[in-house]
Amino acid sequence: MSSEQNGRRPYLLPLRRDWWLQLRFYRLYMLREATVLPLLFFVGCLIFGLYSLGQGPMQWQYWLEFMAKPWVFMLNLLTLAASLFHAKTFFELFPRVMPLAPPRLMIAGQWIGTVVVAVGLIVLLGGYV
Amino acid sequence: MTQTIVIARYNPEQDEKPHHETYQVQSDDNTSVLDALQQVQQQDPGLSFRWSCRMAICGSCGVMVNGVPKLGCQTFLRDYPAGLVITPLSNFAVEKDLIVDKEPFLDHLSAIKPWLINTAEGTQPYVQTPKQLAKYQQFANCITCGLCYSACPQFGLNPEFRGPAALALAHRYNLDSRDQGKAQRMPELNAKNGVWTCTFVGFFSDVCTKKVDPAAAINQGKVESAKDMIVSILKPSGAR
């Protein structure tokens, strides 16, 4: 028997395109996903830097000046903030995916690891050793 | 005191699409959404909704309250002083008023074989240590109310997605020391509409009435799925 014959007429409301604006939880989720956008710009900067390095001192100097431009600096500051926000959400989700230790311990461990790696890279690449 | 509630109404024999109607109900600190719906039914016997146990264990009375999936019996009017809008569970087709067609959800559930699969013969009781029980116990608390499907935009976008409760239950049985059905369930988890469709929105873990955390189960399922793929690559082809 078809739906019409037995009086059934199920009504399915499709998911609205702006579903992610409806609840705070969804807005934060989309913000987490959107952190990749400024990161794309930073990755572009790094690739441009590598290219410049291969082109010689003039081009390298140009890249350094480009990176120091206020709008580039501000965009990369945004990238840093976005990446830290993404790291926070990732570190909080990770203990649920791999429950190896108490969640608070795992979250603290990941932040300590991040700081150690970041400081290590700055010391190593910043010419401090 | 009197409180105003708005309820989505849909009569498939008369209405083109659902519409909202406003009702007045008497409420005190103990009035649940389900109580309020039953009051409205006294005024308008045509109002249709599902309910059974009234104690948050049967999982029948799921509705959206102000856009968030809730069990009607577990949600109280006192928490909504600004009023509440009660609509049918999202991402499911509405049959009438607050009743949705849960058939797609039940199909997804049965597809992952949520039962003990064990080839051992005889009537010996299963032996399980508390430690073995603890591995899956959290995921075994699911009452299959379906609220998580209404809080999962991936299911809303793609109804073929097996979805939170089904994948959480697959993980629950895969973790059970008495079960031998993992090899039968893994193809469903590995498939296009299995665990990898999940993007860890995670809202359904918040709305879960039994704190099952299906998002954790699905993403632990991704780890299992990845291991399963590596093993299948490394195994000689005859042994697959």
* pLDDT tens for each residue of B153-178: 999 999 999 999 999 999 999 999 99
Task: Summarize pLDDT for A35-92 with one digit per residue, the tens.
Answer: 999 999 999 999 999 999 999 999 999 999 999 999 999 999 999 999 999 999 999 9
Residue with the two structure tokens 């519409």: B19
Smallest Cα distance from A105 to chain B, Å: 18
Classify domain B2-100 at the CATH superfamily level.
Answer: Beta-grasp domain (3.10.20.30)
**For the packed helices B164-174 and B103-111, what is the interaxial angle rounded to 10 degrees?**
20
Instruction: Give the residue among B148, B150, B123 at the shortest CA–CA distance from B215.
Output: B148
Q: What DSSP line would sit under A25-66, residue for residue?
A: HHHHHHHHHHTHHHHHHHHHHHHHHHHHHHH-HHHHHHHHHH
* Interface contact A11-B18, CB threshold 8 A: yes
Closest partner CB to B91 (pick from A9, A15, A22): A15
For domain B103-239, the CATH class is mainly alpha
pLDDT digits (tens, 9 = 90+) for B65-97: 999 999 999 999 999 999 999 999 999 999 999
Question: Which of A12, A20, A97 is closest, CB to CB, to B219?
Answer: A97
The residue to which tokens 């109900």 are assigned: B25
Counting one residue from A and one from B, how many pairs have CB atoms under 8 Å apart?
59
Q: Are A12 and B94 in contact (CB under 8 A)?
A: yes
Q: Do B199 and A33 touch (CB under 8 A)?
A: yes
- What is the location of CATH 1.10.1060.10 in chain B? 103-239
Return the residue of A nearest to B220 by Cα. A97
Poorest-pLDDT segment among A21-25, A93-97, B232-236 = B232-236
A19 CB neighbours in chain B (<8 A) are: 153, 156
CATH fold for domain A19-97: 3 helical TM bundles of succinate and fumarate reductases (1.20.1300)
